[in-house]
Chains A and B, each alone.
Chain A
């Protein structure tokens, strides 16, 4: 009986500890959430009044009343579209090779270690690499193409790692089942591995794209212009992007430009959410069709 009461006492402290921990973890969650809410409220309060049709359809100007970010918006759309176009197939292809084809050699492990480290390289380094490789060496100039290729380099490690994890999570029994039916390796990859891994791959791609769209440091090195009074019409054109435009406004002393910056952030968030929504819709549609 004495033993039993000891167990009960033990239960009381354990229950108390359980409650303390659940409050602690809730507090951790709240820190992040609250900061985000405060940020959103602050940005909306500063910028909502300035966020209008004129703001979206005007080119940058010295007069804050007339200034807008049409060129930056189009620049961002151009750069992101090209980045996704390059980074997605390259990243998925690399991941498929490393997971499904590459023999387990020292070379493979070396490549893997490199990719893991590249994911942690500061973005300004990619910017400088892009400047010397694409802008100068390959002679692409300070163009949309050079910017997109540089962002592709930056996004690739994240996409590759996410795609690898997604591919690894496909049960081995599914692969074996397909092999046992006489499927060749590319058929196993195409019909079994990729459909199951696609949701995870797309989630990783969304994350990488979200990082790229807000990236100013990389493109400052490529020198995306701020005062651009035309819309880029092709990959060879010069360009600017939203985060650089916002950065430029924030660094000005006048109050009005601070409000413009906040309005720019709102637009950036809308573009970001729009992109994510599109990716999620694609993902869900694919999930359904692969289950049919």
Chain B
């Protein structure tokens, strides 16, 4: 693969109070590709994702050790500003979480709090176009975002992240609350976005990982030890010729 590395975790460890949720995780996320993180519930995949934009900082009792390098800098360095990191690395959550504001104000939120209010309308238009939502909302930009369907709300959340032109977009099970048709739209969208952005997606849905991603990381809870990265490689390899027995069991639907 000719792409460089967008994000790289090095010996990452994470605790919630006394519970260790990540153990010595190292992986390199390639630029402008889709990297999927799969694994059963509680294996630490969402924790890993939240390490990439320091969202774990907001959880009480959470402690991170190790490094995540982004654009040549460790985002856990003492002088790194989490606000700046979240500005450059966008995130889409499991459940669509539009603010109780208008569609326009939702997309404009990021630019506004970061002081990027020149050509705000243009920024919002472009983000909505990119998120493939423009045609559905262009006549009601000033209506409440809560009027939209679940799938539209999720694409609005993607547009909200895109409005900041982030270098990376993190997606935490973005389709788990959506019906199959809405899921398909979001997946198509990810494919298009991967031409310009680096995407990391956590998913429960193995078909989804196989369909959309270029790289797949499999995490597991082995012997009551959560947060182990078992195997990481190109998606076709993980799904057809995995090196590890537990990876093979998981991707073929045999657990355990």
How many residues of chain B have a CB within 8 Å of chain A?
29
Report if B161 contacts A (CB, 8 A). Answer: yes
Report if A187 contacts B (CB, 8 A). Answer: yes
Instruction: From A171, A176, A184, give the contact of B58 (CB < 8 A).
Output: A176
Q: Do B144 and A178 touch (CB < 8 A)?
A: no
Q: Do B55 and A182 touch (CB < 8 A)?
A: no
Q: Do B105 and A292 touch (CB < 8 A)?
A: yes
From 161 to 201 in chain A, residues with beta carbon under 8 angstroms from any chain B beta carbon are 171, 173-184, 187, 191-192, 195-196
Per-position contact with B for A228-244: 1 when CB-CB < 8 Å, else 0? 00000000000000000
Contacts A173-B95, A191-B113; A180 near B90 (Cβ below 8 A)? yes
Q: Hey, which chain B residues are within 8 Å of A290, CB to CB?
A: 100-101
Instruction: From A171, A182, A191, give the contact of B86 (CB < 8 A).
Output: A182
* Assembly CA distance A173 to B113 (angstroms): 18
Instruction: From B90, B113, B144, give the contact of A183 (CB < 8 A).
Output: B113
Q: Hey, which chain B residues are within 8 Å of A178, CB to CB?
A: 99, 109, 113
Report if A255 contacts B (CB, 8 A). Answer: no
Instruction: From A104, A182, A192, A291, give the contact of B144 (CB < 8 A).
Output: A291
**Chain A, interface residues (CB within 8 Å), range:** 20 to 34
Contacts A178-B99, A191-B109, A291-B144; A183 near B93 (Cβ below 8 A)? no
Q: Hey, which chain A residues are within 8 Å of B237, CB to CB?
A: none
A residues sitting closer than 8 Å to B (CB atoms) are: 104, 171, 173-184, 187, 191-192, 195-196, 290-292
**Taking the nearest CB of chain B, how far is it from the CB of A102, in angstroms?**
12
Instruction: From A174, A177, A182, A292, give the contact of B114 (CB < 8 A).
Output: A182
Instruction: From A179, A192, A195, A291, give the contact of B55 (CB < 8 A).
Output: A179
Q: Hey, which chain B residues are within 8 Å of A292, CB to CB?
A: 101-102, 105, 142
Q: Hey, which chain B residues are within 8 Å of A187, CB to CB?
A: 113
Apart from A173-B95, A182-B86, 14 more pairs, CB < 8 Å: A173-B93, A174-B100, A180-B53, A180-B86, A180-B91, A181-B109, A181-B114, A181-B160, A182-B87, A182-B164, A183-B110, A196-B100, A291-B100, A291-B101
From 108 to 151 in chain B, residues with beta carbon under 8 angstroms from any chain A beta carbon are 109-110, 113-114, 142, 144
Greatest chain B CB density within 10 A among A171, A174, A177, A184 is at A177
Contacts A171-B97, A174-B97, A291-B102; A181 near B58 (Cβ below 8 A)? no
Contacts A174-B99, A196-B100, A291-B144; A181 near B164 (Cβ below 8 A)? yes
Closest 6 CB pairs of A and B: A182-B87, A181-B110, A173-B97, A180-B91, A183-B113, A177-B97
Report if B157 contacts A (CB, 8 A). Answer: yes
Total A-B pairs in contact (CB under 8 Å)? 72
* Assembly CA distance A178 to B161 (angstroms): 10
Report if B245 contacts A (CB, 8 A). Answer: no
**Taking the nearest CB of chain B, how far is it from the CB of A256, in angstroms?**
56
B residues sitting closer than 8 Å to A (CB atoms) are: 53, 55, 58, 60, 83-84, 86-87, 90-91, 93, 95, 97-102, 105, 109-110, 113-114, 142, 144, 157, 160-161, 164
* Assembly CA distance A198 to B1 (angstroms): 52
Q: Hey, which chain B residues are within 8 Å of A191, CB to CB?
A: 109, 113
Minimal Cβ-Cβ distance residue in A for B59: A176
**Taking the nearest CB of chain B, how far is it from the CB of A195, in angstroms?**
8
**Taking the nearest CB of chain A, how far is it from the CB of B93, in angstroms?**
6
Q: Hey, which chain B residues are within 8 Å of A181, CB to CB?
A: 86-87, 90, 109-110, 113-114, 160-161, 164
Minimal Cβ-Cβ distance residue in A for B105: A292
Instruction: Show 5 residue pairs from A and B whose CB-CB distance is below 8 angstroms, ordered by the A residue.
Output: A174-B100, A177-B93, A181-B109, A181-B113, A181-B160
